[in-house]
Amino acid sequence: KQEVTQIPAALSVPEGENLVLNCSFTDSAIYNLQWFRQDPGKGLTSLLLIQSSQREQTSGRLNASLDKSSGRSTLYIAASQPGDSATYLCAVKTTSGTYKYIFGTGTRLKVLA
């Protein structure tokens, strides 16, 4: 059974700092992995989608890597800003059993001005 874990659960950093969020999963049989951000009381916004055959994806100040063999993904945020404050969720799309996304519990990020 696929399990997705995100560490740390919460993070508080000063503005301008580079930071790394971690996501680990137990079953390497995945179609893809997606990183989302969620603002309080809102839906999710997709940040980056990495297919199982890819190693990383970049968008602006964000870079996500995927290492299927070790069951890990990292989201790197460069030069953090207060507007980056949100909860970040990773989700893996499974290939075994029900074809669905399994979400981690998220990392709540606060960037201090």
Partner 1 sequence: KAGVTQTPRYLIKTRGQQVTLSCSPISGHRSVSWYQQTPGQGLQFLFEYFSETQRNKGNFPGRFSGRQFSNSRSEMNVSTLELGDSALYLCASSLTGTENIQYFGAGTRLSVL
Site residues (CB under 8 A) for partner 1? Answer: 31-32, 34, 36, 41-46, 49, 51, 89, 91, 98-106
The rounded distance, in Å, linking the Cα atoms of 77 and 95 is: 29
Rounded to the nearest whole angstrom, what is the least distance from the CB of residue 85 to partner 1 in the complex? 18
Rounded to the nearest whole angstrom, what is the least distance from the CB of residue 102 to partner 1 in the complex? 7
The residue among 25 and 101 lying less far from partner 1, judged by its C-beta, is: 101
Beta strand pairing call for 4-7 and 44-51: unpaired
The residue among 23 and 80 lying less far from partner 1, judged by its C-beta, is: 23
Side chain identity, residue 110? K
Q: Give the list of residues 6+ apart from residue 41 with CB closer than 8 angstroms, or none.
A: none
